[in-house]
Amino acid sequence: MNQQKPNQELYNLVESIMAEARRQGATAAEAEIGTGTGLAVTARLGELEKLEHERDKGLGVTVYMDHRKGTASSSDFSTDAIRETVTAACNIARYASEDPCSGLADAGLLVRDVPMLDINYPWQLTPEAATQMAIECETAARDCNSRIRNSDGCMVNTYAGEHVYGNSNDFIGGWCWSVHMLDCTVIAGDEKGMQRDGWYSKVRDPDDLESTQSVGREAARRTLARLGSRQLSTRQCPVIYEAPVASSLFSPFLTAVSGSALYRGASFLKDSLGQPVFADHVQINEQPHLAKALGSAPFDNDGLPTRNRDIVLDGVLQTYLLSVYSARRLKMQPTGHAGGVHNLVVESGGDSLDDLIREMNTGLLITDMIGFGVNQVTGDYSRGASGYWVENGELLYPVEEITVAGNLRDIYKKILKVANDVDTRGNIRTGSVLIETMTVAGN
C-alpha cells in the first residue's frame, strides 16, 4: 500500500475556500476537491488504437446563507478562481428559496478520526507496457478459436486520485484511491450469425489483476458459447442471474430505500422499514472499510462516518439510506449515506453456480442484461436478457432476444439461494442468484 493521505496542499485549499466563504458573508460552507491522473490504452487487431493520458482536477463549493443554498464549481485552483467561484455560489444562495432542511451536518455527527483504508495502489505503468498488455490479452482471445473473427479491442486503464472534503464546522478529511482495469471484447461468427461478448478484471491493486491470458481466454469462451443463440417461447420458469449481472437485481432496492426516493414518495418500498422485503434467509449488509474493495470509503459526502451495518436481516429491512438532507426531510437520523452505499454485501451460502444450475434443473441462466426497465414507484420490472436454457441441470443451448419480468417485491421474496461465486468488481458484491420463478417473454 502506498500514500494514504492526500497532499497537504489540498487541505490548505479547502481551508482557504472556507475563509473566503466567511469573508463573503456565508453562514456556512462546504467544499469538495478531487484530483487524479490516469492512463488508458486500447489495442485492436494486434495494434495500438488509442492512447490517452488523463489529468483531472476539480472543486465544488456550496455555501449557505442561513437556509438558502448556492453551489458553484471550478477546475482552476488559483486564488482568483477560488474567489470567483465562492462569489458565484454566494450570488446563487442570495436569490435561492429558503429550505429549512438544507445545511451542514451537525458538528457532533462528523467523523473525527478518519480511518486510513487499504485502497490506494498507484501503478507506474508506461504506455509501452500497457500497449503490450492489451495486445497480449486480445491475442489470447483471438487465438482461442478460428470462429473469433473480429474484435472490439482490449483496454488497459489505470487511475489514481485524491479526494478531500471539508466544511465550516471545523471538519476536513480525505483519502487517496486507485483503480485499474483490463477489459477485452471479441466477436465470433459461424453460419448462424455473429455474437459479441467479453470479460474484464477491475481492482484497486494491480497485483490483483487477472492475467492477460486469463481475461482473453474467458472473453473468448463467453463469446463462443453464445453462437447459435435461439429465442424462447413465453413461459414461467425458474431463473438464475449469474454473479456479474446479479448486482443489477439489487440496484433498484438501493434506490428504493434511499432517502431522496422516500421523501419524494417515489419508492416501491415506502413505509417498509422493519418489514420483510426479501425471503427470510436473505442477509444484506454494508462493509465500507473492506481492504482493496472498490466501494470502500471512510466517510460519506456529508462528512459522516461510514460503518458496518445490517441493511437486511433475515429478509427484514433494518434501515433506510439517509443523507443529512433526506433525514431532515423524513424527520429521521442520517445514516452516513450521502452519495450512496459503500460495499453492499449480499451474503452467500456454500453452493457454487453449478450447484444452483443442478438444483434449478430446468430454467433460464441469465448472463447478460440489456436496457433498464424498472418502475421505482411500483416495483414493476422488465429487462432484456440473454443467457442459456437449462434442462436436467445442464446448459442446453444459448438464448437471446428475451425479456424477464415481474415485480421486485415478489422477485425479492422468491430468492431461493445466493451462490458463493461472488463478483467483487463493483460496489455490490453478490454471487449468482436463484429465483423460484419469473416471467420470460420470447417469441
Distance CA 219, CA 151 (A): 11
Distance CA 311, CA 212 (A): 37
Query: What residue ranges define each of the domains in the chain, with the CATH number in brackets?
Result: 8-225 (3.30.2290.10), 235-248+349-441 (no CATH)
Distance CA 367, CA 204 (A): 25
Task: Single out the residue of 66, 65, 79 nearest to residue 24, CA to CA.
Answer: 65
Query: How far is the CA of 169 from the CAs of 22, 103, 105, 216, 338, in angstroms?
Result: 12, 11, 8, 51, 17
pTM higher than the cut 0.85: yes
In order along the chain (443 residues), what is the average pLDDT of each group of 10 residues? 81 98 97 98 97 97 96 97 98 97 97 92 97 98 96 98 97 97 97 94 98 98 97 97 98 98 97 98 98 97 98 98 98 98 97 98 97 93 97 97 97 98 98 98 89
Helix (H) or strand (E) holding 284: strand 284-286
Other beta carbons within 10 Å of 76: 13
Distance CA 322, CA 335 (A): 5
pLDDT of amino acid 3: 59
Query: How far is the CA of 33 from the CAs of 111, 119, 139, 194, 429, in angstroms?
Result: 18, 18, 40, 46, 28
pLDDT of amino acid 2: 58
CB-based contact 381:416 (threshold 8 Å): no
pLDDT of amino acid 372: 82
Phi, psi (degrees; rounded to nearest 5) at 61:
-120, 130
DSSP character string of 105-129:
PPGGGS-SSPPPPS--------HHH
pLDDT of amino acid 443: 83
